[in-house]
Amino acid sequence: MTSPTPTLPGQPFFAYRNGQLMAEDVAVADLARTHGTPLFIYSQAAMLSALAAYQRGFAGRQALICYAMKANSNLAILQTFVQAGCGLDIVSGGELERALRAGVDPAKIIFSGVGKTRTEMRRALQVGIGCFNVESLPELDVLNDVAINLGLRAPISLRVNPDVDAKTHPYISTGLKGNKFGIAHTDALAAYRHAAALPGLHVKGIDCHIGSQITETSPYLDAMDRVLDLVQAIEAAGIPIEHIDFGGGLGIDYHGDTPPAADALWQQLLAKLDARGYGQRKIVIEPGRSLIGNAGICVTEVLYGKTGEAKNFLIVDAAMNDLPRPAMYEAYHAIVPVTPRTGEASTWDVVGPVCESGDWLGRDRTLNAQPGDWLAVASAGAYCMSMASTYNTRGRAAEVLVRGHQTHVIRERESTDDQLRLERPLTD
């Protein structure tokens, strides 16, 4: 079969010109030649374009956009969003330190997650973060104790689980009653009464997050209705709610997915907010994947072509430790040649060198590729490097940020010495 014309998500920031895949105004082949592979390449213009859609959606509103840094926590990427006006959503003490290194105003940090430790709470209180999104009654009590011991009051929202189906992969669905996240919708009013009675806490808002890679509008609208019902009941009980936090979760195009544009989504959500009388309330959101996912690619070199009776395999130098999503979720990433060849293409499974059958990047892909060619794995900006590992003592990949014609190495390739630095061999 003849190789089709390559297309990939992330256009126009990743697109072909004169037979070469470009990242903005830089040839991807030149970056692979200079920096080696596997190599993550990010487009700053793509990030800022994705953010601009949210900013348009909130024009004229009181809103705080906190980038969910678990999606990709490289310091240069954090700086890009912070300098564009974002706060940051964190889920660990380590992410708190990264956020501070990136120069964010601590008052624009939201601390989410189900398992915050006393040490993490203490540090976050000491630096003056904006809000804790609390996910259980025991966490409320521990945070209250930590705050009292510091002579402070902890600003909190309660994360409410609205039992809304986000219609996404079960591993990244977070808003159903069977998920570990949040406080049950039916228990929320009692939890707010408990929180308001604790002297070390200051109730500031309500939080809801129903999942990730959501491609439909209806789950958001359903969740908003449930949250606003609760706001009405909580305030009727004498507990004011300063802000409403609707989390993140908006999906991206991995394989013909058609999520609503961020500005269009928020036009609908804000119309509902206005209709119910909450249009002037402060809004907080925490997008991650939708800001960075299609702003990154991973470039990998073809090592071998292996033909078999049932399958043909293209073995490449990127693996499940670099791109964990296919192994974890059977996720689809478009895979395209950096320099397309003419002629006949074949059907391949694109796999890595790690000693696991789950080490695959794409199945049944039509490609015309030879050893030494470079392939680009698209939509690799989110949940790839942030979940990368050193399995098989493989060093984590280098990362490059492109800004027009300029390139910046934002993470050096990890060496074996880097990995062994903290280990201590036996000496006798």
**Same domain assignment for residues 235 and 214:** yes
Flag whether 354 is in a domain: yes
Of all residues in the chain, the percent with pLDDT exceeding 70 is: 95
**Same domain assignment for residues 148 and 275:** yes
Beta-carbon contacts of residue 406 (< 8 Å; ≥ 6 apart): none
Helix, strand counts (H, E) of the chain:
12, 21
2, burial (CB in 10 Å: exposed 0-12, middle 13-18, buried 19+): exposed
**Same domain assignment for residues 148 and 28:** no
Domain final position from 285, 304, 322: 285
**Same domain assignment for residues 192 and 246:** yes
CA distance 15 to 11: 6
Residue 290 · residue 262 · CB < 8 Å: yes
**Same domain assignment for residues 254 and 340:** no
The per-residue pLDDT for range 164-192, each reduced to its tens digit, is 755 543 433 444 455 556 898 889 999 99
Flag whether 276 is in a domain: yes
User: In which band, very low, low, confident or very high, does the pLDDT at 209 lie, cut at 50, 70 and 90?
Assistant: confident
At 212, which CATH number?
Answer: 3.20.20.10
**Same domain assignment for residues 354 and 207:** no
Flag whether 30 is in a domain: yes
**C-alpha to C-alpha distances, 172 to 135, 212, 383, nearest whole angstrom:** 17, 5, 12
Domain final position from 239, 261, 285: 285
At 356, which CATH number?
Answer: 2.40.37.10
Catalytic annotation present for 355: yes
**Same domain assignment for residues 334 and 255:** no
Q: What are φ and ψ of residue 183, in 5° steps?
A: -105, 135
Flag whether 269 is in a domain: yes
**Residue range 253-272: average pLDDT?**
92
The predicted pLDDT at position 140 comes to 97
The predicted pLDDT at position 169 comes to 37
Which one of the listed residues 86, 131, 298, 355 is annotated catalytic?
A: 355
**Mean residue pLDDT across the chain:** 93
The per-residue pLDDT for range 89-105, each reduced to its tens digit, is 999 999 999 999 999 99
**Same domain assignment for residues 145 and 279:** yes
The per-residue pLDDT for range 331-343, each reduced to its tens digit, is 999 999 999 999 9
**Same domain assignment for residues 324 and 381:** yes
Flag whether 82 is in a domain: no
Residue span of the structural domain in which 167 resides: 113-285
The per-residue pLDDT for range 129-139, each reduced to its tens digit, is 999 999 999 99
CA distance 305 to 71: 32
Residue 367 · residue 345 · CB < 8 Å: yes
The dihedral of CA 214, 223, 209, 182: what is its sign? Answer: negative
Domain final position from 235, 261, 285: 285
Flag whether 1 is in a domain: no
**Same domain assignment for residues 149 and 244:** yes
Flag whether 266 is in a domain: yes
**Same domain assignment for residues 240 and 344:** no
**Same domain assignment for residues 281 and 297:** no
Q: How many domains would you assign to the chain? A: 2
Flag whether 185 is in a domain: yes
The predicted pLDDT at position 81 comes to 98
Instruction: Single out the residue of 85, 80, 96, 91 nearest to residue 128, CA to CA.
Output: 96
